[in-house]
Structure 1
């Protein structure tokens, strides 16, 4: 296996000891009614690291509350402005307290108490300008590869995804895990039929059983809904069954032992390979588990992902707020059409211009470059997509976390 030496990494040190590869100011709205004011504030800083996140719902949800707290204290976030309407049920004070306790600058604007839209926008811009100046003066410090968290997702898959981009990411994951990084793959709804393959790779028998139960939960959820994670675009791209798509998605995980299962907002307990369970627990009540790829990217970021590797055959142009997205294109024809949006042409494997190992090592090198400040294509194009909706999860059992912190 090719494994070229990586350059030294650097990041921004946070009070909890973690390091971020970006120094973002997040503007976080706590209800859809504060979305416009928040967006106006962000729009005043084009091309700068000021990103919009938020939860649209008025009524409280433990999942959304936890997600917002994890996102606002992500290692890539240096400061947070919280924008509330004032009468929503979301616990904005609880969010502010968590961010303040993390050592980050934080400020809350409540529109109903702040003379409305114009004043709130002006005050928000003033605070973000102050926070941005403070963060711009912060210097990067040395960062180890074992401090990096890398995630992967596939979207717009076609018949080339499972033979080029996905296994190339699997090669990259194996190299990153061997170097001490934490790597997270998903999604249980797209791994139906692969549960016993994953069970054999589990670090403990208890974890293996938990993985099977996790995928069975996903299969039940989709059965009740009456559809699976299989889109018309997948069929148009040459995929024939859910199982075929699942095997391709599974290839992204590589061959390393699986260290644990995460649920959205759980943090990896050290380096290793982790499976993210994105399907809600309990009764089927929230509709499609992930209404878009970006909803899942947000959950990966909430687990601490500094970077997300996004494989696509049909082509996807999205990025994300907070953490950079690196696009790995599976199909050479798609790459030719969408080269401006793609970071890696894994379709060269199909044409014989590169080997699986070469592309995997290229991905690892690009991860290091982006971690050190180079922009991915989606970043350079200004993509900052973000989606957060209602879900419900129960705490994971001890069998899901065989690795314990010292």
Structure 2
């Protein structure tokens, strides 16, 4: 089976062709947005971090920004820095440039302020546009697709219908040789032993248990019960009674394939198949991590409804709540409620979702894309100093 994709110099394949503007600190974010807003092909990351971070938190922000630049959906990158931030500006650009894609650097303090920097930035980004304007999508095998799966605003229909249907679609992609990422460590709690049975090796199972244990320990360190935030008030209003029930519903999204490995936040998988990524339960931070890890398309199930999108990847919204599909029709892409009403089986809807993935990979715009929703947030794991 084939899809249309953009072949990158490093051999990866994207399904979109963005020019990405990466601000290396919050101080450069407004300028980055001003530059991108003047170029139809460009999009800027609203990065709120980049300075006064230390240790693993500092490294994670660097890894995430570089991962977005390396993502196959990105054709070229303009890195914009202030000049005194903690994120190494030119080193970040060099890591992205190692993929072979065109990269330019702009430093505000070096060119004499934001007005001069904006002029110079427009010159640089227009050059990038010209360098990649010839690129056209080509037929590639569907195995080149990398899928991120997410859930948010869940209700009772999520675990019963939409998540199991997504699991069928995930299985179909893995069977076709593709890659799938499941995230949200918070939503493995109480179900980690079920998920671990599918680990490819005992070492992978141990990695899974460790990220769940560490997640709970971080909450204990703050002298709080993680169950104060999970399930969320919306989850509870939607009929989810406990974090264990939410977790058992969440893991359905991963289908039945063996788990190849457990990845740190923003880490790229080293092969094909199903991977687990250690992310928070917060939807946008979770999606950001998987896209930094190279995912090129996102499936997002929701019972109560959410408009969330992404700066660089299409996000397909799925709900099995018929009321939500009607009330938020402008935001929902796939109606999985026929499972609840008995008109379709989980397998039938799963195959319908798989066909939607193929259509979006081939250029169909999701509703989040068409409305311009581009949420982005990096998971912080330490205070800012």
**In structure 2, what is the equivalent of residue 241 of structure 1?**
242
Select 2:202's aligned residue among 201, 205, 209. 205
Q: Which residue of 2 aligns with 1:44?
A: 38
Aligned residue in 2 for 1:101: 98
Q: Are 1:133 and 2:130 matched, yes or no?
A: yes
RMSD: 1.7
Q: 1:58 aligns with which of 51, 65, 81?
A: 51
1:373 Cα offset (Å):
1.5
Report the Cα offset of residue 231 of structure 1.
Answer: 0.9
Q: Which moved more, 1:178-187 or 1:225-234?
A: 225-234
Q: How does 1:385-396 map to 2 (within 5 A)?
A: 385-391=375-381
Match in the other structure for 2:261: 260
1:15-70, Cα deviation, whole Å (9 max, x unpaired): 21111111111111111111111111121135x35343535231351111111111
Match of 1:307 in 2: 297
CA–CA separation in structure 1 for the residues paired with 2:142 and 2:155 = 32
Aligned to 1:252, what secondary structure does the other structure show? helix
Aligned residue pairs, count: 374
Q: Secondary structure at the match of 1:202?
A: coil
For the residue of structure 1 that corresponds to 2:159, the secondary structure is: coil
Equivalent residue, structure 2, for 1:399: none
2:249 counterpart of 1:270? no
Q: Which moved more, 1:260-269 or 1:294-303?
A: 260-269
SS in 2 for 1:339: coil
Deviations 1:169-199 (A, max 9, x none): 1111111111111111112211111111112
Matched-pair contact (CA < 8 Å) for 1:70–1:303: yes
Provide, for residues 229-277 of structure 1, a one-character-per-residue CA deviation record: whole Å limited to 9, x for no partner: 3211111111111111111111111111111111123222222111111
| Pairing of 1:168-247 with structure 2 (within 5 A) | 168-225=165-222, 226=224, 227-228=226-227, 229-247=230-248
Structure 1 length-normalised TM: 0.88
Contact 2:187–2:250 (8 Å) recurs in 1: yes
2:80 to 70, 79, 83: 83
| Preserved contact between residue 30 and residue 55 of structure 1 (Cα < 8 Å) | no
**Aligned 8 A contact 2:83 2:89 in 1:** no
Counterpart pick for 1:31 among 14, 25, 33: 25
Does 1:345 pair with 2:346?
no
**In structure 1, distance between residues paired with 2:209 and 2:100:** 40
Aligned-partner Cα distance in 2 for 1:343–1:49: 24
Q: In structure 2, how many angstroms separate the alpha carbons of the residues matched to 1:45 and 1:355?
A: 45
Structure 2 unaligned regions, length at least 5 = none
Shift of 1:353: 2.6
Confirm or deny that 1:148 pairs with 2:145. Answer: yes
Q: Give the C-alpha shift of residue 375 in structure 1.
A: 0.9
Match of 1:250 in 2: 251
Cα distance, 1:200 vs. partner?
1.5
Aligned match of 2:67: 70
> What residue ranges of structure 1 are gaps of 5+ in the alignment?
1-5, 279-288, 393-406
**1:31, 1:158 → 2: CA distance?**
36
3-state SS in 2 of match to 1:161: helix
1:11 aligned onto 2:5? yes
Cα shift at 1:90: 1.3
In structure 1, the partner of 2:115 is: 118
Task: Choose 77-86 or 48-57, whichever is displaced more.
Answer: 48-57
Contact preservation (8 Å) 1:59, 1:90: no
> Displacement, 1:126?
2.7
Deviations 1:290-341 (A, max 9, x none): 6x31111110101110111111001000101111111111211001001111
* Secondary structure of 1:95 counterpart: helix
CA contact (8 A) 2:36 2:42 kept: no
